[in-house]
Amino acid sequence: MGHSRRWVLGTAAGVGAAALTGCGLFDSDDPEPPKAPDPLEPVLAEALALAAAYDQAVVTQPGLRTRLAPLAEDHRTHAAELSRLIGEPMPSAPAPSASAAAAATTVAALRQAEQAAQRTAVAACKVAPADRAGLLGSIAACRATHAEALR
């Protein structure tokens, strides 16, 4: 037919490369891998859990409202700011109910939860970039203050 072996191999390679390009192997429009969770998410989750625990305690022990409601509000404020910093909408917290299993929430249990959450905030603050360390330090200090207020 008059075609050299070199021409046939070159044509075959060109057709193969065109086929691979058409199948998307070399496309740069690959979907991005899933985003890693933000390191602030555990601090946010604790803020929401603490606010819910305080709300639950107030439902089950209404006499503690004036003492506990401001602490719950602090945690809601922290959650809103953390959510804004993470760039995600704030998850909704469940409404407290008098018949919930957590009805036995006591001031001592709230204090222990504050102490554990304060340790989480301190650990996060130690490894956070400068633009996040200030907020985390403030949250850690607030949680320590809450623990003392619950003595």
The per-residue pLDDT for range 75-116, each reduced to its tens digit, is 999 999 999 999 988 877 665 555 444 444 689 999 999 999
Q: Which of 116, 32, 7, 117 is nearest to 15 (CA)?
A: 7
What mean pLDDT do residues 24-35 have? 68
Res 56: pLDDT: 93
End-to-end CA distance of the chain: 97
Amino acid at 81: E
Looking at the chain, the whole-number percentage of residues with pLDDT higher than 70 is 74
Where is average pLDDT lowest: 66-70, 99-103, 107-111, 117-121? 99-103
* Residue 80: partners with Cβ closer than 8 Å, 6 or more residues away: 90
Res 72: pLDDT: 97
